[in-house]
Structure 1
Amino acid sequence: MSKYALREAALQLLTRIGENGGYSHVLLDREINKQQLSEQDGRLLTEMVYGTLSHRDLIHYYLTPYMKKQKKIRPWVKWLLYMSVYQMVFLERVPDHAVLHEAVEIAKKQGHKGIASLINGVLRNIQRNGVADVEEIKDPVEKLAIESSHPHWLVERWVEQYGLEITQGMCKANMHHLPMSVRIQPLRISLTEAIHQLQADGFTVEKSLLSPQGIVISEGQILRHPLFIEGRLTVQDQSSMLVGEMMDLSPGQKVLDACSAPGGKTTHMAEKMEDEGEVAAYDLHAKKAKLVNEKARQLELTIIHAKQADSRKITDEHHLESFDRILLDAPCSGLGVLRGKPDIKYHKKEEDIFSLRNIQDDLLNEVSKLLKPGGKLVYSTCTVDRHENEEAVAAFLCRHPEYEVDPSFTNDLPEPLQTSHGRSEFGLQLFPQDFDTDGFFLTRLIRT
């Protein structure tokens, strides 16, 4: 695909995501597959889309001095400017003259001479005069919010919860795309064998620090590799793999996965159980439950049975105290996965955190009734907000004195995490800057 066509495709994706709330990771993957892009073109398209989204508010700050006389512009024009400024400021290998020329050509094709003239004038001014310095912003929260393109309310909230230093680390990490990681299907291939095969095929890989099944890929297009197509590998973030590792599973157990889609953690648990026992998996939506079953088939796992149900009423489906292990990977604000889904930070509102917490409380109350005495329940989220994490666990333990945090939880963590500053009496908070992963929370509770 030509660079012009790539920029056109990036603009269409950005406008759709930015204006209509489309999911960046879904639409981007679909476009790469639809156009059958080469690895190099796929990388550039991903860079333009994710980079522009991740830096949106900073780019807006850069553009503002040059746009003061302009009336409201059409959405696609705004995103064309955002995308072009991103390339000019942040992508050193892309020459400014190429960005300018193709932006003007796109403006001519999609608009008219007046729009092309506007685009040309603004971008040439930036080329000549440079962009504003964020150091001129005196308020540290406002400065961090703009330079890292995070909503002010969110930065303020994180600073209150974790302090400025950790918040700066989170915000900066969120501006860089997450490296790809995969999990082996250990009943079908060993870690050593998978790594050797990927390296022989030109991939740059290393072992995960968080899971003995995990491989981190820094170079290589895994979705087209036979190991992925044949179901010997599956894509999963390292922090997500940690859940399966911490479930303390054995073959033959009966396990409940209350919120299972898309199935990464569900299938990991079945692998840890050596495909012996039972994994009852549920999702609120029938289509998503179907995806879990499809993933299980792809990985040749037979003990997973996924179906649609609202897990806030899951005791209608099973006898009380009937499971050895329960996973509640709860619906959450998703504020830990901004590296892979940067659009989330622009769509979330503070009140979303509190409404989701009500759902988390209801789910915890309900699924906890199904665990056997002596059984273990892992609660996890892909967010970094204390209200959904430590505070949710603390409130649950107050309501349910028959539960406690498993005393062996910390000792069972992978060694790099045993001294993590994210540990508390209620669980482990992973920050995205710590191990180059998603932000993630998990804890393991035991029913006494």
Structure 2
Amino acid sequence: MSDKRVYSDNPRVLAVQTLAKIKNGAYSNLQLNQVIKQHQLSEADKRLLTTLVYGVIQHRMTFEYWLAPFVGDKKIDAWVRELLYSAIFQMKFLDKIPEHAIFNESIEVAKILGHVGTGKYVTAILHNIGRQGLRSTSDIKEPIQRLSIERSLPIWLIEELISQNGEETTRAMLETINDAPQQSIRVNTTLASDKEVEQALATEKFTTVKSRVAAHAYIVSGGHVAGSKAFHDGLLTLQDESAMLPVESMRLTENVKTILDAAAAPGGKTTQIAQSVGENVTITALDIHEHKIKLIRSNAERLHVTEKIHTRVLDARKVPTEIDQKFDRILVDVPCSGFGLLRRKPEIRYDKTLADVENLAHLQFEILDSVSQNVTDNGMIVYSTCTILRQENDDVITKFLLKHSDFELVPTQTSKNLKPNRSENVLHVYPNDYQTDGFFVATLQRKIPTDSV
């Protein structure tokens, strides 16, 4: 961060400040939302701020490669680097802004956040880039290294995806990995119909397109929908389309009376369950952190479904010893590496390792193994992650079934019958399938003991 304490509503200044904080460990989506709330920005400025922040993070390795010849070994402040990256992003990806305007605005930001000397340095770098151009990635001879720089993904992750999916499928996936995330909502059917929400958003000048992935879902454009009256009134909630699929897969029939959401925060899926069941159903929602339990309660209050949800601070691995109850359905939406969320949380690609993935897979199995003891006979567990790596998905399920012969893997069902011709019972949703987050869903059913038949 720049040492100067600067308050500005200039979206380019805010972008550089936000990027510096994210580089220092802040989460992109949370930091960006906080900045938008704290500043009086027009819709156009909000869009520019969001585009700059996500664009720089998504392409950071590419920009580092492009900028390297111009800065050499010179040590520059982190915020200055972010400023130069944001200028390169505008030059390469925002064709409606003339180069001279990009240069002038960037130099002005350098003066605001730094001093005259910083402005001169940024001026010199940008003019050199303008004269010489940016080097081609075709200069990188090793194919995987070149793909890594072009898509801004670590080599280990690309190699892992290729080993699991093949090179052609991986390249198709990575082709879309840096696209802008779509804004999607789920209608709160407890309070409103799909049509009523369409009309409410239209009144506020939003455009809606019905989801082809999930029920009661829309892609929304035309502004920041979390600031809408419809959102404030609880008629809808923000949720990625693929994140709605685990609850759709729970087969919530009228015979289902008890439900456990084993890792529930921030409550998107918990509230989705609540709006999908009758009044006489109880939902127990767990999380290991008290502040996250408060998020679940807050979301439930806004959506008017608090009476169905009982929250509790508890590590899901302690369910068998702490909860003396069997459940008809258990949702196990486990903590994961999040590599299905690269559009929405692009910074995670830079700070996670294969060792992290393997550690998470161990935790995921422990959670699934533990809560399975609290499933009724013929009851179901839906296991889901927002990652695209098989260590956390298929491998966890395979390991579980090897230990638990009293469970079987049954076909994962969704309202839109996604991938009907797939050969496997589990559901893999990759980012390029429907332009959604990547997700994995598996449905496990406990067998009825033969001696009770």
TM range (shorter): over 0.9
Q: Secondary structure at the match of 2:391?
A: coil
CA contact (8 A) 2:246 2:441 kept: yes
* 2:433 match: 434
CA contact (8 A) 1:250 1:272 kept: no
* 1:109 match: 112
Q: Counterparts of 1:319 and 1:347 in 2: how far apart (Å)?
A: 39
CA contact (8 A) 1:209 1:416 kept: no
* 2:395 match: 391
Query: Could you say if the C-alpha distance between residues 165 and 413 of structure 1 is closer, same or farther in structure 2, counting changes exceeding 3 Å?
Result: farther
User: CA offset at residue 113 of structure 1?
Assistant: 3.6
Unaligned runs of 5+ in 1: none
Percent identity between matched residues is 38
User: CA offset at residue 4 of structure 1?
Assistant: 7.8
CA contact (8 A) 2:8 2:14 kept: no
* 1:414 match: 416
User: CA offset at residue 105 of structure 1?
Assistant: 2.3
Q: What does 1:118-133 align with in structure 2 at a 5 Å threshold?
A: 118-133=121-136
Q: Counterparts of 1:414 and 1:260 in 2: how far apart (Å)?
A: 24
Q: Secondary structure at the match of 1:215?
A: strand
Q: Secondary structure at the match of 1:336?
A: helix
Q: Counterparts of 1:76 and 1:362 in 2: how far apart (Å)?
A: 41
Q: Counterparts of 2:223 and 2:109 in 1: how far apart (Å)?
A: 31
Query: Paired residue for 1:327, among 326, 331, 354?
Result: 331
Larger deviation, residues 121-130 vs 261-270: 121-130
CA contact (8 A) 1:183 1:233 kept: yes
Is residue 351 of structure 2 the alignment partner of residue 347 of structure 1? yes
What amino acid is aligned across from residue 314 of structure 2 in structure 1? A
User: CA offset at residue 144 of structure 1?
Assistant: 1.2
Q: Secondary structure at the match of 2:343?
A: coil
Q: Counterparts of 2:354 and 2:215 in 1: how far apart (Å)?
A: 37
User: CA offset at residue 56 of structure 1?
Assistant: 0.6
CA contact (8 A) 1:182 1:234 kept: yes
Unaligned runs of 5+ in 2: 1-6, 448-453
Runs of 4+ deviating beyond 6 Å: none
TM-score (norm 1): 0.94
Larger deviation, residues 197-206 vs 115-124: 197-206
What amino acid is aligned across from residue 181 of structure 2 in structure 1? L
Query: Could you say if the C-alpha distance between residues 4 and 136 of structure 1 is closer, same or farther in structure 2, counting changes exceeding 3 Å?
Result: farther
CA contact (8 A) 2:412 2:427 kept: no
Q: Counterparts of 2:225 and 2:16 in 1: how far apart (Å)?
A: 25
Is residue 323 of structure 2 the alignment partner of residue 312 of structure 1? no
Q: Counterparts of 1:144 and 1:304 in 2: how far apart (Å)?
A: 46
User: CA offset at residue 232 of structure 1?
Assistant: 0.9
* 1:445 match: 444
User: CA offset at residue 377 of structure 1?
Assistant: 0.4
Question: What is the aligned-residue RMSD (CA, Å)?
Answer: 1.7
What amino acid is aligned across from residue 239 of structure 1 in structure 2? S
* 2:95 match: 92
* 1:13 match: 18
Q: Secondary structure at the match of 1:118?
A: helix
* 2:224 match: 221
Query: Paired residue for 2:369, among 359, 365, 371?
Result: 365
CA deviations over 1:126-179 (Å, ceiling 9, x no partner): 112221111232322111111111111111111111112222233232211210
Q: Counterparts of 2:352 and 2:31 in 1: how far apart (Å)?
A: 19
Q: What does 1:125-274 align with in structure 2 at a 5 Å threshold?
A: 125-251=128-254, 253-274=257-278
Larger deviation, residues 53-62 vs 100-109: 100-109
Q: Secondary structure at the match of 2:20?
A: helix
CA contact (8 A) 1:270 1:276 kept: no
Q: Secondary structure at the match of 2:441?
A: strand
Query: Could you say if the C-alpha distance between residues 278 and 149 of structure 1 is closer, same or farther in structure 2, counting changes exceeding 3 Å?
Result: same
CA contact (8 A) 2:153 2:350 kept: yes
Q: Secondary structure at the match of 1:36?
A: coil
CA contact (8 A) 1:360 1:392 kept: yes
What amino acid is aligned across from residue 443 of structure 2 in structure 1? R
Q: Secondary structure at the match of 1:188?
A: coil
Q: Counterparts of 1:265 and 1:310 in 2: how far apart (Å)?
A: 18
TM-score (norm 2): 0.93
Q: Secondary structure at the match of 2:92?
A: helix
User: CA offset at residue 212 of structure 1?
Assistant: 1.7
Is residue 400 of structure 2 the alignment partner of residue 401 of structure 1? no
Count of residues in Structure 1 that have an aligned counterpart in Structure 2:
439
Query: Paired residue for 1:284, among 263, 288, 293?
Result: 288
* 1:55 match: 59
